[in-house]
């Protein structure tokens, strides 16, 4: 893994935020001033393809990146805010219902966050 890839993996794994590629780029640029955005995109894609990070896609929002640990997400329908949700792993129950092995699942529960409810 390149030094950029390793640093990007550390950035994603050491934050509780769900960072966009642009946010990761600006964080990485503090350590590597010469880095370009294409390098960030290429490394994020590689880390995602290798299963080392998660990519969270929400319609109308830029993709965000997250640690590759078992958890689900709450997504605000209005502002797109993401929050982690720790539900019990449902893989065994899902496999029982569908009758075959499930590699992974990505559960997103949509709601209105408290700030958007007030608006």
Report pLDDT digits (tens) over 84-111.
988 888 888 889 999 999 887 888 999 9
Tell me the DSSP string of 41-62: HHHHHHHHHTTSEEEE--TTS-
User: 9 exposed, middle or buried (CB, 10 Å; 0-12, 13-18, 19+)?
Assistant: buried
The pLDDT assigned to 90 comes to 83
Q: Is 14 annotated as a binding residue?
A: no
The answer on whether 113 is annotated among ligand-binding residues is yes
- Going by pLDDT thresholds of 50, 70 and 90, the confidence category of residue 63 is very high
10-48 pLDDT, tens digit per residue, is 999 999 899 999 999 999 999 999 999 999 999 999 999
Domain ranges within the chain, ordered by starting residue: 1-68, 70-118
Say which residue the tokens 């539900």 belong to.
87
The correct CATH number of 1-68 out of 3.40.50.1390, 3.40.50.300, 1.10.10.10, 1.10.1370.20 is: 1.10.10.10
Q: What is the mean pLDDT of residues 45-64?
A: 94
Spatial contact of 37 and 52, defined as CB atoms under 8 Å apart: no
> Is CATH 3.30.1330.60 correct for 70-118?
no
Residue 25's pLDDT is what?
98
């Amino acid at each position: 893994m390149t030094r950029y890839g390793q640093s990007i993996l550390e950035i994603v794994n050491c934050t509780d935020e769900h960072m966009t590629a642009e946010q990761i780029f600006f964080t990485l640029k503090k350590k590597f001033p010469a880095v370009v955005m294409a390098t960030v995109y290429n490394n994020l894609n590689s880390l995602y393809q290798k299963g080392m990070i998660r990519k969270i896609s929400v319609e109308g929002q830029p993709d965000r990146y997250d640690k590759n640990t078992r958890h689900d997400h709450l997504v605000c329908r209005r502002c797109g805010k993401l929050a982690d949700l720790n539900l019990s792993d449902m893989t065994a129950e899902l496999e029982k219902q569908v009758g075959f092995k499930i590699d992974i699942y990505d559960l997103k529960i949509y709601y209105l966050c408290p700030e958007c409810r007030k608006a």
